[in-house]
Amino acid sequence: MTSLTIESVRTVLVDLPLRRPHRFKSTSIEHQSFLIARIRTADGIEGIGEAAVPGGPWWGGESVETMKVIIDTYLAPELIGQDASRVDYLMHRLERVAARNSFAKAAVEMALFDACGQALGVPVHQLLGGLYRESIPVTWALGAEDADIVIAEAEEKLATGQHASFKLKMGAIEPSLDANRVVSVAKALGERASVRVDLNAAWDESTSARWLPALEGGGVDLVEQPVPGWNVEAMRRLAAALAIPIMADESLDGLPGAFTLCRAEAADIFSLKVHKLGGLSATRKAAAVAEAAGLPCHGGSSIESSIGTAAAAHAYAAIAGVTFGCELFGPLLLAEDLVTEPVRYADGALRVPHGVGLGVRLDESKLARFARD
């Protein structure tokens, strides 16, 4: 293998427009912001990585601005002169330099894996155990808009064969209205589609206990994170009381969180997210914890471009337990992308890239066009 001594670490912030606004429980976005990490080695190989947060720092505390400061000021100096192929060693080294900041670290780790894959002439999934599946079914996110709006969008996706699984955001309106909205969508789509919901921790336990049974009886297949992430006991009681699967997202805040959820029997499914967990390696480790507890996994999204989407696809496709599909819809929601050839979708699924490294390359002209000054 060529010399992978790290010579430079650069970051840039980018804002890309969306095809349509995307509404969460407490905010709506018309563009998505990204941090792009570029790691260059002594032999001229450049690995790229990406980080994005779904809708801003309200979700996990980090923003692309804080990521840039953390990488430029604290992480990059620790990487210069190091061997990029020692990925696990370097990530442990960075953990000693800066606690938490999982999104920033995930972007760095992506770039390291991309560089290693290029040097070896193999796709990243071969560095993660190899493909378990060639493609991953994609759930389309419908947001928190009114029922008629999301039904129309879902019908369009069904008619064109793009998607047959949909996730609605909840928590933006009064619970009874929200529950009725979701049930009306589920009934309109019927057996033609799977309908899932994500509350992003918007409800408390009593509200969840009151209204989740209505979703269960109304044809909803899965409920994601109904209560705040810290309230594992409430998650446990809800999971025990309901037949509808409860998926942990905000509660799955790293490997200790994965262990706590399994020990408490507080989730039926894990929502893996590469950025939330701190990288591709950490994602595999969290999936292993789930496997030990007999829990399936779902591949989550932070609304990435083709860069982060490709990285997550390599990880999810190499994990046997990702049996609930994924939400790697970012490139489909974005009006623009950052690569020369975007990732490919077909028959409602994301095709895992087979090129070396991440399998996608930066489009320098688009990067220059959308980069912040």
Q: How many CB atoms lie within 10 A of CB 61?
A: 12
**Tens digit of pLDDT for each residue in 323-356?**
999 999 999 999 999 999 999 999 999 999 999 9
The answer on pLDDT for 25 being more than 80 is no
This prediction's pTM: 0.97
pLDDT of res. 55? 79
**Tens digit of pLDDT for each residue in 43-71?**
999 999 999 998 789 888 999 999 999 99
In the residue annotation, 167 being an active-site residue is answered as: no
Query: What CATH architecture applies to the domain 127-351?
Result: Alpha-Beta Barrel (3.20)
Which of 25, 105, 167, 169 is flagged as catalytic? Answer: 169
Question: Does residue 138 contact residue 166 with C-beta atoms inside 8 Å?
Answer: no
In the residue annotation, 169 being an active-site residue is answered as: yes
As to burial, measured by CB atoms within 10 angstroms (0-12 exposed, 13-18 middle, 19+ buried), residue 358 is buried
Range list for CATH 3.20.20.120 in the chain: 127-351
As to burial, measured by CB atoms within 10 angstroms (0-12 exposed, 13-18 middle, 19+ buried), residue 153 is middle
Fold entry, domain 6-122+363-370: Enolase-like; domain 1 (3.30.390)
Q: Where are the beta strands (DSSP E) in the chain?
A: 6-23, 28-41, 46-51, 135-137, 140-143, 165-169, 194-198, 222-224, 246-248, 269-272, 297-299, 322-326, 345-346, 349-351
Edge-first strand listing for the sheet containing 349-351: 135-137, 349-351, 345-346
Q: What angle do CA 180, 26, 302 make, to 5 degrees?
A: 100
**Tens digit of pLDDT for each residue in 247-306?**
999 999 999 999 999 999 999 999 999 999 999 999 999 999 999 999 999 999 999 999
Rounded to an integer, the average pLDDT of 92-120 is: 98
Beta bridge partners of 13: 35
Question: Does residue 245 contact residue 209 with C-beta atoms inside 8 Å?
Answer: no
Rounded to an integer, the average pLDDT of 68-84 is: 99
Range list for CATH 3.30.390.10 in the chain: 6-122+363-370
**Tens digit of pLDDT for each residue in 222-253?**
999 999 999 999 999 999 999 999 999 999 99
Which of 109, 145, 327, 336 is flagged as catalytic? Answer: 327
**Alpha-carbon span 322 to 14, nearest angstrom:** 30
Kindly calculate the radius of gyration of the chain based on its CA atoms and give it in whole angstroms: 20
pLDDT of res. 1? 54
